[in-house]
């Protein structure tokens, strides 16, 4: 496990050191903080993928982890455009967790019995279930507005969990 973490972390350290070359004073200040934040981000991305996003307690835990990660990046001594972009993305993802746990909870209860037939996943290719069945179920049991809010929240969350996923295709659903 440690070897695989080292293997994954090395390219990140290399990229971090390259991106901070333009500001030598910031390099040493940010390297340690950025490494800590990077590991927190990897843990959060993994937690998103393996978690039950219909459980309110899980969503609250993920929201708190996201807020902690956002603070990690916000407190970096030298802010560069990449860090600022990351903080803004984390704000959006954090709001999505909050939206799902608070605003979507009533609808989530209405569609609970649908989960046997339609199983949305936290993967790029099956985010809204087979043939995007979650869309129809949410619109039927709740509303199109609820569907749009759910869809947009999940797209923001997946942008952190799987940054290589082509999420634009889901915006058209």
C-alpha distances in Å from residue 6, one per residue of 20, 36, 90, 134: 21, 14, 25, 38
Distance CA 27, CA 124 (A): 34
Asked whether residue 15 falls in the same domain as residue 84, the answer is yes
Asked whether residue 3 falls in the same domain as residue 87, the answer is yes
Q: Give me the pLDDT at residue 16, please.
A: 43
Q: Give me the pLDDT at residue 143, please.
A: 93
Asked whether residue 15 falls in the same domain as residue 89, the answer is yes
Question: Quick one: pLDDT band at residue 4, thresholds 50, 70, 90?
Answer: very low
CB atoms within 10 A of CB 55: 13
Asked whether residue 20 falls in the same domain as residue 80, the answer is yes
Asked whether residue 86 falls in the same domain as residue 115, the answer is no
Residue 81: φ, ψ to 5°: -55, -35
CB atoms within 10 A of CB 77: 10
The verdict on pTM exceeding 0.95 is: no
Asked whether residue 170 falls in the same domain as residue 125, the answer is yes
Distance CA 32, CA 34 (A): 5
Asked whether residue 4 falls in the same domain as residue 76, the answer is yes
Asked whether residue 113 falls in the same domain as residue 62, the answer is no
Whether residue 171 is predicted with pLDDT greater than 80 in this model: the reply is yes
Asked whether residue 76 falls in the same domain as residue 123, the answer is no
Domain with 81, as residue range(s), is: 1-95
Average pLDDT of the segment spanning 63-75: 87
Q: Which of 35, 67, 95 is the last residue of a domain?
A: 95
Question: Quick one: pLDDT band at residue 2, thresholds 50, 70, 90?
Answer: very low
Asked whether residue 4 falls in the same domain as residue 69, the answer is yes
At 141-150, the pLDDT tens digits run: 999 999 999 9
Q: Which of 60, 95, 130 is the last residue of a domain?
A: 95
Q: Give me the pLDDT at residue 27, please.
A: 67
Distance CA 139, CA 10 (A): 45
Q: Which of 40, 61, 95 is the last residue of a domain?
A: 95
Asked whether residue 137 falls in the same domain as residue 172, the answer is yes
The CA-CA-CA angle for residues 41, 42, 48, to 5°, reads 85
Distance CA 148, CA 45 (A): 23
At 35-66, the pLDDT tens digits run: 888 888 888 888 888 888 878 888 889 989 98
At 88-139, the pLDDT tens digits run: 888 888 888 888 888 787 888 888 777 777 877 767 888 888 888 899 999 9
């Amino acid at each position: 496990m440690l070897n695989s973490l080292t293997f994954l972390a090395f390219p990140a350290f290399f990229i971090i050191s390259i991106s901070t070359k333009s500001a030598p004073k910031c390099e040493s200040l940010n390297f340690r903080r950025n490494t800590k934040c990077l590991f927190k981000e990897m843990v959060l991305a993994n937690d998103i993928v393996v978690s039950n996003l219909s459980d309110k307690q899980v969503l609250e835990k993920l929201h708190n982890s996201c807020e902690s990660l956002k603070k990690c990046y916000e407190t970096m001594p030298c802010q560069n455009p990449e860090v600022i972009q990351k903080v803004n993305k984390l704000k959006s993802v954090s709001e999505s967790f909050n939206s799902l746990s608070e605003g979507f909870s009533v609808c989530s209860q209405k569609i609970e019995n649908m989960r046997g037939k339609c199983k949305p996943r936290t993967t790029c290719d099956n985010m809204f279930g087979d043939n995007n069945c979650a869309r129809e179920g949410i619109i039927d049991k709740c509303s199109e507005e609820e569907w749009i809010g759910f869809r947009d929240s999940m797209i923001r969350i997946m942008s952190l969990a799987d940054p290589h996923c082509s999420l634009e295709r889901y915006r058209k659903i």
